[in-house]
A and B are shown apart, each in its own frame.
Chain A
């Protein structure tokens, strides 16, 4: 099984500042056949289902503000929220979807300082 390790568990960031969340996979999720990393980032606000923000490590889903960006390849990935807004308070999860079981990271809580 591919183990996904997220850090930090939580972080507090001032409005307008940058939040950075890291995710490490125990095996590479990169496929050379199509040059894609099978890694997604989700946002879950209180009382709501998760929402896919970023697919293939760096592709923003339709409608996702451009202050959200994903980077990384292979086993090390980062979600960056630039210019943090109040509505970004949520839990964030990474997930690999290269192979079953489709494992999630443990989650990162983002709050306003």
Chain B
């Protein structure tokens, strides 16, 4: 079946880095962009950006430039989110979700990963 499976929870100290994975299965990986969405504790959904799985080109939302990096390994249909120089305010659940690369077919984020909790604490 179509699914996105994310890596497990992470506990990191301030200043460290973390890399979250999102493995796709059950569909043609390069037909869909992979988005990253942040949800801070008790807060709403925040789009961080996406990566074009055809070209590998990332697009970052304004608040997610600099310390955030999206990457791919198409050989294993996996996308990655790396956050460097972690701060306490990066504590959140991070979701990956797919959306069609083709504008005419784009109907929203129809498949989501289960979420990865990243906790930043000394």
Q: Does B61 contact A (CB under 8 A)?
A: yes
- Does any Cβ of A come within 8 Å of B41's Cβ? no
Which of B44, B46, B108, B114 contacts A52, CB < 8 Å?
Answer: B108
Q: Which residues of A, 62-113, contact B by the 8 Å Cβ criterion?
A: 91, 93, 95, 97, 100-107
A: number of interface residues (CB 8 Å): 26
| Residue from B61, B104, B108, B109 whose CB has the most chain A CB atoms within 10 Å | B108
Cβ contacts under 8 Å, B46 to chain A: 104
Q: How far is the CA of A20 from the CA of B45 in the complex (A)?
A: 20
Instruction: Provide the bound-state CA to CA distance between A103 and B59, in Å.
Output: 14
Q: How far is the CB of A103 from chain B (nearest CB, A)?
A: 6
State the main secondary structure of chain A at its contact with B: loop
The reply to whether B106 and A38 form a contact with Cβ atoms under 8 Å apart is yes
Top 5 nearest A-B pairs (CB, nearest first) are A40-B108, A55-B107, A49-B112, A107-B44, A101-B61
B residues apposed to A, CB below 8 Å: 35, 37, 44-47, 49-50, 59, 61-62, 95, 97, 99, 104, 106-110, 112-115
Known pairs A52-B110, A107-B45 / 13 extra A-B pairs, C-beta < 8 Å: A49-B115, A50-B97, A52-B108, A55-B108, A61-B110, A91-B44, A97-B107, A97-B108, A100-B50, A100-B59, A101-B61, A104-B47, A107-B44
